[in-house]
Chain A
Amino acid sequence: MSANMTGANGWTIAAARDALRKGDVTAVDLTMACLTAIDAGDGLNAFVHKTPELALEQARAADARLAAGDAPAMCGIPIGVKDLFAVKGVPTQAGSNILRGFKPEYESTVTTKLWGAGAVCLGKLNMDEFAMGSSTESSCYGPAVNPWKVDARKLTPGGSSGGSAAAVAADLCLAATGTDTGGSIRQPAAFCGITGIKPTYGRVSRWGVVAYASSLDQAGPMTRSVRDAAIMLGAMAGHDAKDSTSADLAVPDFEAALSGDIRGKKIGIPREYRLDGMPGEIAALWDRGMDMMRDAGAEIVDISLPHAKYALPTYYVIAPAEASSNLARYDGVRYGHRARLAQGDGITEMYEKTRAEGFGPETQRRIMAGTYVLSAGFYDAYYNRARKVRALIKRDFEQAFAAGIDAILAPATPSSAFGLGEQGGADPVEMYLNDVFTVTLNLAGLPGVAVPVGLDAKGLPLGLQLIGRPWEEADLLNHAYVLERAAGFVAKPAKWW
């Protein structure tokens, strides 16, 4: 282990909070440690816009608050922000060339809350363009790289929140924001050996988060421990009048719910998730997870989610349909890129050239697939049918919970991290299959958390996923806490970058 891995930039939020409050470290020290690690971590391509001046200004303000005794849990904690969140005056491109040069004149609700709680902004993090992808390879900045490396290949950190996962795993920041539309927090968390929670749809405001598929998008924290996820989620969540889909519900103290006691709880194991051809290592990891929950006093119950196998095709109708509508706003008029026009070009040529130049291939495909399923003659056959199947997928979960299930345990991903350039080149559907275990709960609006549980034979992290009842993230995080303690995952990537 190098000094980088033992420095303050490698601390958990909880440890840093306690040290800051005791005066053992200052927010400026902590921030400097992260800024140094970020500059030494350019090979990971995780941070794509750095904000050292903003960070130091916020760190000094945090130190003043700490000295005055007015310090919420996130006060002085340096974090990275996925490029999807609007941060005033800081480039916000959603990983797309179509937003090159865009600096919002406003601040997302999530980052407003985080800065209000004293958190420190280190910069913006790499991601798949418009959060469409599972590898960050569709980013306009080029792919982020997984700090885990076991041979000559560079591996993907997963996606779309791959920059966030890589930065947290490589100790470039203490935590990061992510967003999850079909698995974009949980899959990269699992690939990088960190923790990530997608909250219940409506728990966290979407205002100021660049929209991909509005009925599925939800922001959440990506952290080095379940406790950190609980602390940071508390600072991100809550009702927001600017997002009509954000729920007007009290935000519980998620950290206080981490009792470590799940005796008598019922953990559902969905039999449909045991896919044909599931790698032996994934099946074995899942079995170990069941043993851990059982040893903690929970009851393991076989359940059925009969429509789960249709979740992926349902998602790939609904998400592109919503994206085709949401991304209509990128027209070269109000912000972002506008194509250079030829003599005689009118407004239609401006739209068509701007969008052809600004959007990458996967974004273009999803816009077109979405346009197709919404077009006259196909709306009922694809879009309406997908919305009906979505209702059935949600009903499966409701029936499981009504039968007394407290949480559902499943793998997070069908494999460990794969090499950059290895998937989806010939057939985009190959990449889509990464979301097979994660996408179901987005369709049902449920919370889910990925927890690192072990290493595969190659030495790469593998995660398990817990799915909870709507609005019961506190109970879900407590289940994750039990899994985390039982798994005792402490491995870190050896520094090569």
Chain B
Amino acid sequence: MSIDIDTARKVAKLSRIRVEEGDLPALAEKLSSILGFMEQLKDVDVEGVEPMTSVTPMRLKRRVDEVTDGSQQAAVLKNAPDAREGFFAVPKVVE
């Protein structure tokens, strides 16, 4: 299975990465090569095998449901490209 230009355009869109129209053929070719490599998995008999969910069988630990951290607005906003009045600022989202 290979990735055509339309599929490459769609995957770029889903990934929220802008790819110029002229760059799509080369991208499709490289993604196809990666996908072709994955195709080997079709040769494996996986009948009746459960997909792995955790590499080390362990029960996730639980803790008391209580606030352990917080009130760090300044630290949280410190690295923001655009922070105003205690908030992250972004371009207009709703028309």
**What is A's interface to B at a CB cutoff of 8 Å?**
101-106, 200-202, 215, 241, 244-245, 247-248, 307, 310, 312-314, 316-317, 320, 324, 328, 331-338, 341, 345-353, 355-356, 359, 364-365, 367-369, 371-373, 375, 382, 384-392, 394, 427-429, 432, 443-445, 470
Contact = CB atoms under 8 A, between A and B. Distances in A.
Contact of A313 (B16, B27, B38, B58): B38
A313 B81 contact: no
Contacts of B53: 387
Nearest to A471: B56
Given A338-B81, A355-B17, A369-B31, A391 B11 contact: no
Nearest to A433: B37
Contact of A369 (B18, B35, B49, B88): B35
B75 interface: yes
Nearest to B13: A352
A376 to B, nearest CB: 10
B17 A364 contact: yes
Contacts of B81: 332-333, 335-338
A103 B79 contact: yes
B55 A333 contact: no
Given A307-B44, A313-B37, A341-B91, A388 B51 contact: yes
A428 to B, nearest CB: 6
A338 to B, nearest CB: 4
Nearest to A332: B81
Interface string B54-67: 11101011010000
A445 B63 contact: no
A365 B31 CA distance: 7
Given A341-B91, A350-B90, A428-B33, A387 B18 contact: no
Contacts of A312: 37
B21 interface: no
Contact of A333 (B8, B34, B88): B88
A359 B17 contact: yes
A199 to B, nearest CB: 12
Interface in B26-84: 27, 30-31, 33-44, 46, 49-56, 58, 60-61, 63, 72, 75-76, 78-82
Q: Which 6 A/B pairs are nearest by Cβ-Cβ distance? A: A387-B51, A445-B55, A338-B81, A335-B79, A352-B18, A388-B46
Contact of B40 (A310, A333, A350): A310
Contact of B16 (A355, A369, A445, A470): A355
Contacts of A106: 75
Contact of A215 (B7, B55, B93): B55
B10 to A, nearest CB: 8
Given A102-B79, A248-B61, A317-B38, A368 B55 contact: no
Contacts of B58: 202, 245, 247
A385 B31 contact: no
Contacts of A245: 56, 58
Contacts of B11: 368, 371-372, 375
B59 to A, nearest CB: 10
Nearest to A324: B15
Residue of B16, B58, B76 most packed against chain A (CB within 10 A): B16
B79 A334 contact: yes
Contacts of A365: 27, 30-31, 34
A335 B82 CA distance: 9
B17 to A, nearest CB: 5
Contacts of A394: 52, 55
A432 B17 contact: no
Given A248-B61, A385-B41, A201 B56 contact: yes
17 contacts: A101-B79, A105-B76, A314-B41, A316-B38, A334-B88, A335-B81, A337-B81, A351-B16, A367-B17, A368-B12, A371-B14, A373-B38, A375-B14, A429-B33, A429-B34, A444-B55, A445-B55
Contacts of A324: 15
The residue in B18, B38, B92 that gathers the most chain A C-beta atoms within 10 A of its C-beta is B38
A171 to B, nearest CB: 34
Contacts of A359: 17
A367 B15 contact: yes
B64 to A, nearest CB: 11
Given A348-B16, A351-B16, A317 B41 contact: yes
B71 to A, nearest CB: 13
Contact of B34 (A244, A338, A369, A385): A369
Contacts of B37: 312-313, 316, 429, 432
A38 to B, nearest CB: 26
Contact of B15 (A347, A368, A389): A368
A429 B37 CA distance: 7
B80 A335 contact: yes
Contact of B93 (A101, A347, A355, A443): A347
Contacts of A385: 41-42, 44, 46
A338 B82 contact: yes
Contact of B50 (A356, A391, A428, A432): A391
Given A307-B44, A349-B18, 13 more contacts: A105-B79, A201-B55, A202-B58, A310-B43, A314-B41, A346-B93, A355-B17, A365-B34, A368-B8, A373-B38, A387-B52, A388-B51, A392-B49
B39 to A, nearest CB: 8
A347 B52 CA distance: 36
